[in-house]
Amino acid sequence: MTKPRVLVVDDEREIREAIRIYLRGEDIETIMATNGQEAVDLMKQQDIHLILMDVMMPGIDGIVATSLIREFSNVPIIMLTAKSEDTDKIMGLSLGADDYITKPFNPMELVARVKSQLRRYLQLGSQTVTSSTNQDILEVNGLRINTATKQVFVDGKEVRLTPTEFKILSLLMRNKGRVFSISDIYENVWDEPGYNAENTVAVHIRKIREKIEINPRDPRYLKVVWGIGYKIEA
C-alpha cells in the first residue's frame, strides 16, 4: 500500500517541522511548502493525499491557494487558523476546505483529524471499480449518485463534489426522508463528536446545494427542517 503523503503549507519552519515529526510517528510522509504558490505548484507535480494549509502566509495566502487548488483537485484540505480568524475559517470552508484546526493545536487532535480525512479520501479514491450494480445507485427526482464510482449527476449532468461533500450527500441519500441533526451529520462524516459543528456543517451543506440545486435558496433536494436538521426529500 502506498504511504499516505501530506503537503504541509506554512511559512513558519518550526510549525512545519513539528507537524513532520507528529505525522512521521504515524508512518505518514510529508512534503513542505512555505506559501500558497509553492503549494499550488507541488499539487500539480506530486501525488498528494491531503493538505494542511496555513491561512496567513506572504504572497498567495491559504485562502487563495485553496481556491486555486479546488479548480483541479478534490484532495482533502485542512486549514490551520488562529483563534481570532473566524472569518477565514468560514471563507476557507466556503472555498472547498474540508476541516480546520485552530492554532496552537493539540498534536493528538492534529493527527486524529489528518488520519480521519486520509481514511475517507483513500477509501474514495483508491477503489478500482469495473462495474456498478443497482445497489450502488441512489436516486431521487433526477438526483443520482453512484456510490461505487463516486459520481453525482443532476438531471443527467455530472457535478463534482469534494470527498466530504460526497460523504454528506451519500449519508442523506441512503436515508431519504430521515432528518439528521448537525451533530448527527458531523459524527457520521467526521467520525468525532459534533460539538460546535454548526458552521462547518452549514458551509458544506451550502456548497452541496450550490452544486446540485437549480435554485439553492429554494432547494428541490436538500431540505432544512428548521430547528432540527437536514434531509433529502423522499
CATH code of 203's domain: 1.10.10.10
The model's pLDDT over 205-227, given as tens digits with 9 standing for 90+, comes to: 999 999 999 898 889 999 999 88
DSSP assigned state of 2: P
Say what the pLDDT of residue 178 is.
93
- Of 126, 150, 175, the one marking the end of a domain is 126
Say what the pLDDT of residue 216 is.
86
Q: Are residues 195 and 117 both part of a single domain? A: no
Strands (E), 5-134: 5-9, 29-33, 50-54, 77-82, 99-103
Position of cell 507535480? 45
Q: Tell me if residue 36 falls in helix, strand or coil.
A: helix
Say what the pLDDT of residue 196 is.
72
Range of the domain at 179: 134-232
- Of 126, 149, 168, the one marking the end of a domain is 126
Q: Is the pLDDT of residue 129 over 70?
A: no
Average pLDDT, the chain: 87
Q: Are residues 24 and 82 both part of a single domain? A: yes
Pairing of strands 99-103, 77-82: parallel
DSSP assigned state of 180: B
Q: Are residues 10 and 103 both part of a single domain? A: yes
- Of 97, 126, 155, the one marking the end of a domain is 126
How many residues are there in the chain?
A: 234
Cβ contacts of residue 146 below 8 Å, gap of 6+?
132, 136, 137, 152, 153
C-alpha cell, 140 = 431521487
pTM of the model: 0.68
Mean of pLDDT values over 134-153: 84
Q: How many domains does the chain have?
A: 2
CATH code of 42's domain: 3.40.50.2300
pLDDT tier at 126 (50, 70, 90 boundaries)? Answer: very low
The model's pLDDT over 32-79, given as tens digits with 9 standing for 90+, comes to: 999 999 999 999 999 999 999 999 998 899 999 999 998 888 899 999
